[in-house]
Amino acid sequence: MNVRIDKLTRSIQLRISGDRFDTMIQRLWPADSNLLLGGAWQFDWERELRQKNREVYTLTTLLNPTIIQGLMSLEERDGHIFVHLIENAEFNKGRQKLFEGVAGNLFAFACKLSFEKGFEGYVIFESKTKLIPHYAESLGAKLIWGIRMLIDTPAALILVRQYFKDFDNNNFDNGTHKNT
């Protein structure tokens, strides 16, 4: 992982004004790869879409579901969700980013999916060495081996409850997960 968690918010927050925007997370299918056009993405998301055991998800706002705020590639493994890649849209990076909370929102979704799959919120990912302390502080992740980090049940519950206020109700709509 090479993404900084800028702020844990409820949904995502416009950096300049502090206004919140409700979001949704949807699975991106290979047939939808045209939605990636025009984005200056660091990773090859079309390649991720072709990976057999991986799922790619988009984060958008409810007001503008055609603009992707961030992407995540994950895989269901034995007893946990493994996050392969996570990326903010180019306009959500750096000091002049438009929205805060994108990466936190995506990690919270991975934790939520882990709970839904019966994995008790466990999420594992690999971090760049210099970001290990950052993920420990911002996500409550624990270093488990080398550069591999784990978000365990207590930390996952904090993240999911932060972004999904109706988490306990399991209110889902055809694979669309709404954050308000």
Domain locations along the chain? 12-163
Under the banding of pLDDT at 50, 70 and 90, the label for residue 178 is: low
CATH of domain 12-163: 3.40.630.30
Say how far residue 51 (Cα) sits from the centre of its chain. Answer: 18
Under the banding of pLDDT at 50, 70 and 90, the label for residue 165 is: confident
Say how many C-beta atoms besides its own lie within 10 A of residue 62's C-beta.
14
Q: Percent of the chain scored above 70 by pLDDT? A: 86
For residues 7 and 161, the model is more confident at 161
The full 3-state SS of 37-98, as one line of letters, equals CCCCCCCCHHHHHHCCCEEEEEEEECCCCCCCCEEEEEEEECCEEEEEEEEECHHHCCCCCC
pTM, 2 dp: 0.86
Say how many C-beta atoms besides its own lie within 10 A of residue 30's C-beta.
10
